[in-house]
Amino acid sequence: MQARTHARLAAIAIALAVAVTASLVRLSGTDVDFVAFHVAGQALLAGHAERLYDLTWTTLAQAPLAAHPYPWLYAPAWALPFVPFAMLPY
């Protein structure tokens, strides 16, 4: 019974992450603002949530991935669903 509950919660979390990603990612020419979410997930994965709002760090972390930086404009908790994506190559 408990395993079934965990499986349902995992499915809900995955569905939520996909829904958030689908609703927040927008194309802008050849650049994609998903880089902000990917880098935010990397910051949390590394244990550095304070870097979410450090524009210098954000710019440097996003430089190899995007033509211009996308600042993190959300509450820190919004980066949590993107931690699994941060484990994947961009």
Task: Please check the confidence at residue 68 and state whether its pLDDT lies above 60.
Answer: yes
Cα 26 to Cα 5: distance, rounded to the nearest angstrom: 34
Query: Taking every pair of C-alpha atoms in the chain, what is the biggest distance, in angstroms?
Result: 49
Residue type, 8: R
For residue 72, give both structure tokens: 């993190």
C-alpha radius of gyration, the chain, whole number: 14
- Binning pLDDT at 50, 70 and 90, where does residue 1 land? low
Q: Give tens-digit pLDDT for 16-63.
A: 877 666 665 554 445 577 899 999 999 999 999 999 999 999 999 999
